[in-house]
Amino acid sequence: MSIERFSLNQATIKRADLPTALDLAAAAGVRSVGLWRDRVAETGLHEATRRLAASGLRFSSLCRGGFLTDPETSDQAWKDNLAALDETAALSAAGAPGSVPVLVMVVGGLPAGERDLVAVRDRVRWFLERLEPEARTRGVRIALEPMHPVFCADRAVVPTLGHALDLVGDLDPAAAGVVVDTYHVWWDPDVVPMIERAGAERRIASYQVCDWITPVPEGALLGRGLPGKGHIDFAPLTRAVEAAGFDGDIEIEVFHQEVWDAPFTRVIGDCKRAFTEVVAPHLG
């Protein structure tokens, strides 16, 4: 099977700086990359766009905007998200044809001492409504990422695909979509109907694949494996995302200490194999 639609999210080779990640991906025959803001900033946006253009790689998303739930840091969050929109526009313009101007949004958890989830979720909606015109003006699409409920307190108060769709429901689909990340949504009894709904509402901005492995490590963050290493059935999810009309690049984004410690080229090879064996067979 082809790795044509495989995109390497650079967090999977976390220790690599941006030039290294681009060089290794291109050398391995990868066609697309998802980038991270901290590594873009380290290289400098101008140099990052130059290198991305030179690499011939497509750009599939920038991680990440968001962290907008704390009223105390609201002004900073606003400025930071505008900068992230600008970076997304610049990078997607620099990528090879087929690049998409997608900014992944991790909304943030409960502010310290706050327990009113309803109010915090209202705040997310309010913030996204303000941000959407800014995204539209820049030709960028914000992609709200529902995260696994284990992160509800400390990372993202949006725990299901259905809830994410509700939150962006009044916004222009061209400027506001959602991320479907297998790791975050696989457990949901409604996941397939919600993927169908996301397709019908033209909201799928990104499809990311990684596996749920046990035992869950402390803090839960690094409990992600390459597709095939854990408990997730990638067939029904991938088929549903395809049937919902998503035809873009598919990122493998793995947070796991052993993966991060391994040699970059081996990890990229493992990703290509996992994509070929576990994901690609379910693509049309």
Q: Which of 160, 182, 208, 238 binds a second copy (CB under 8 A)?
A: 160
- Rounded to 5 degrees, φ, ψ at 197 are -60, -45
Q: Which of 5, 14, 58, 148 binds a second copy (CB under 8 A)?
A: 148
222: contact with a second copy by CB under 8 A: no
Cα separation values, 216 from 57, 67, 220, 229, 254, Å = 34, 24, 6, 14, 14
Helix then strand then coil, % of the chain, to nearest 5: 50, 15, 35
186: contact with a second copy by CB under 8 A: yes
282: contact with a second copy by CB under 8 A: no
What is the DSSP secondary-structure string of 108-157? B-PPTT---HHHHHHHHHHHHHHHHHHHHHHT-EEEE----GGGTTTTBS
CB neighbour list of residue 252: distance below 8 Å, 6 or more residues apart:
6, 7, 8, 9, 12, 208, 209, 210, 226, 227, 271, 274, 275
Q: Which of 26, 93, 96, 152 binds a second copy (CB under 8 A)?
A: 152
Cα angle 60, 62, 65; round to 5: 145
189: contact with a second copy by CB under 8 A: yes
Enumerate residues 85-114 that contact a second copy by CB under 8 A: 110
Asked whether the CA dihedral 166, 182, 116, 79 is positive or negative, the reply is negative
Q: Which of 149, 174, 260, 283 binds a second copy (CB under 8 A)?
A: 149
Cα distance between residue 181 and residue 178, in whole Å: 10
Q: Which of 177, 194, 13 is nearest to 105 (CA)?
A: 177
Enumerate residues 28-47 that contact a second copy by CB under 8 A: none
Radius of gyration of the chain (CA): 17
Beta carbon of residue 137, minimum distance to a second copy (angstroms, whole number): 30
Cα angle 22, 34, 250; round to 5: 120
Beta carbon of residue 120, minimum distance to a second copy (angstroms, whole number): 10
Enumerate residues 224-253 that contact a second copy by CB under 8 A: 230-233, 236
113 vs 263, beta carbon nearer a second copy? 113
181: contact with a second copy by CB under 8 A: no
264: contact with a second copy by CB under 8 A: no
Cα distance between residue 154 and residue 272, in whole Å: 32
Beta carbon of residue 168, minimum distance to a second copy (angstroms, whole number): 14
202: contact with a second copy by CB under 8 A: no
284: contact with a second copy by CB under 8 A: no
28 vs 152, beta carbon nearer a second copy? 152
27: contact with a second copy by CB under 8 A: no
Cα distance between residue 255 and residue 229, in whole Å: 13
Stretch that binds a second copy, among 48-56, 67-75, 143-151, 169-177 (CB under 8 A): 143-151
71: contact with a second copy by CB under 8 A: no
**Which residues contact a second copy by CB under 8 A?**
110, 115-118, 121, 148-150, 152-154, 159-160, 162-163, 166, 186-189, 212, 214-220, 230-233, 236
